[in-house]
Amino acid sequence: MTSAYPTLEQMGIHSFDSISQYRLRREARADVLKVYYHRPAGSLLSRSKKFTFARPKAAVPVEFQKTAQWHQLDDTSPVLRQALVELQQLLNTAGPDGDDATRDSKQQLLQDLEHMERVMKAKLEELRRQIAALK
């Protein structure tokens, strides 16, 4: 039996009907794909999987790396490109364009900021507990 999503299967993704969304971001020398799952409360299964795809090393000036063109370079992994196609098919979403992409980017940044705030708050509370235990 041939899967409809062979690239995702090769990446270790098998619960296709549990996928709720995915995010793609570009880090310094890699693309990071994060796939999120619908999970019931109290589930021991992970709520997400993270995949990192290295980019080829290129001599690009730092100033250029801060531009929009840098984020649109076509040097992404072919496996990543195929995985994105399969995820879009799976979730019945069209590729982002125009204002939708801007709104999605802003929404993602806000979600990332909220997540980072929760993580930092939890870490600070943990450190305070450890300090209190030392007294």
Percentage, residues of the chain above pLDDT 90: 24
Q: Which residue has the higher pLDDT, 132 or 56?
A: 132
Pair 35, 87: CB distance under 8 Å: yes
Instruction: Name the token pair of 13.
Output: 């993704």
Is-above-0.85 flag for pTM? no
Q: Using alpha carbons, select from 82, 80, 92 the residue that is nearest to residue 3.
A: 82
Q: Given this model, what pLDDT does residue 123 score?
A: 94
Assign 50 a pLDDT band (cuts: 50, 70, 90). Answer: very high
What tens digit of pLDDT does each residue of 2-25 get?
A: 678 899 999 998 888 889 989 888
Distance of CA 79 to the CA centre of its chain: 15
Assign 41 a pLDDT band (cuts: 50, 70, 90). Answer: confident
Instruction: Name the token pair of 57.
Output: 């090393």
Q: Using alpha carbons, select from 95, 94, 53, 97 the residue that is nearest to residue 75.
A: 53
What tens digit of pLDDT does each residue of 57-104 get?
A: 665 555 655 566 555 555 678 888 899 999 998 887 544 454 555 666
CA 20-26-27 angle, to 5 degrees, is: 120
Helices then strands, each counted (H, E), the chain: 4, 3
CA 74-80-85 angle, to 5 degrees, is: 95
Assign 128 a pLDDT band (cuts: 50, 70, 90). Answer: very high
Q: Given this model, what pLDDT does residue 112 score?
A: 81
